[in-house]
Amino acid sequence: MAAALRGEGLSLDFGAARVRIRADVDGLADAIRCVYGEYPHDERAPFHDVALALHRRRGLRRVVGAQIEAVADADVLFEPFPAATHLPLLEWSLNYLLAQRLQHRLLLHAGVVALDDRALVMPALPGSGKSTLTAALASSGWRLLSDEFGIVGLDDGLMHPMPRPIALKEASIDVVAAFAPHAVIGPRFPGTRKGTVAHVAPDARSVAARHTPAAPALLVFPHFLAGAAVRVEPMPRARAFAKLSVNSFNYEVLGPDGFEAVGALVARCTVHRLSYGDVGAAVGALRELLARAPLAEPA
């Protein structure tokens, strides 16, 4: 792993995108092996949507207060990070680049999981408990399509997978660890700009099915409320359309195609709000909602 990162690069096929990673950062190879361990490495891949490099900064920073930076297309993406926060820098850089490069499909900021290839789409703003719920579902028999990107095909209306590690922060790390002791959770990184973060690795089944899309059936807008009982309410489709359009990375860029894609997704799904304070109860409620959702006609 370390040799690939320092040489031609580590090539990973995420399903909806392929990336190449180069790095000369101590400890990153072990972290990648933990959270991307189910992914094959394809050294012969001829094309990558994203090519990213993580480098140690030169000069005194190599020894005192070591820092690293992310580079793509000869541009430094962000201000330097402490060298010990290599995986968060990698993941945030990939998110940033993928959001810019994948303009041939609608990109929603949403967690997406599936049962029997029927997808549950959970759009949400940061702090809504989306990632915690996505990780809990992915550890409860649901197939992970993505935590960060809900990718909607413009031609088929299907949800296309990109099952990368699920980023958790602060208390949600312990919540998922207690709920799913079998889940593979990578190292914790304290002191990042989002506090302490850790990543839940996609399971082997989700990675193996990364080229198999799922039909959207259930659209749920989650909201975590500490100590609250599970509450599920239908949401008007017009309201869901408005919320989806602002929870998209490229709705405006796609123009009429984005409008049509959001409209078709809302029309195809049963739409609800979900507030919850207990992860287990929310997982049960969502399984029941999906079971009751009618089978939709193909788009």
Predicted structure pTM score: 0.93
Q: Do you know the residue count of the chain?
A: 299
Dihedral sign, Cα of residue 61, residue 63, residue 67, residue 69: positive
pLDDT at 197: 97
Compute the distance between CA of residue 27 and CA of residue 248 in angstroms, rounded to an integer.
34
Residue whose tokens read 């040799």: 3
**DSSP tag of 147:** S
Note the pLDDT tens digit of each residue in 140-156. 999 999 999 999 999 99
Fill in the amino acid letter for 188: R
Q: Is the pLDDT of residue 120 over 90?
A: yes
Strand partners, 273: 221, 233
CA atoms within 13 A of residue 87's CA, in its CB half-sphere: 27
Extract the tokens encoding 31.
């972290």
Strand partners, 160: 151
Residue whose tokens read 């090519």: 51
Tell me the average pLDDT across 113-140. 94
Note the pLDDT tens digit of each residue in 212-264. 999 999 999 999 998 899 999 999 999 999 999 999 999 999 999 999 999 99
The fraction of the chain above a pLDDT of 70, given in percent, is: 96
- Are 172 and 132 contacting, i.e. CB atoms less than 8 angstroms apart? yes
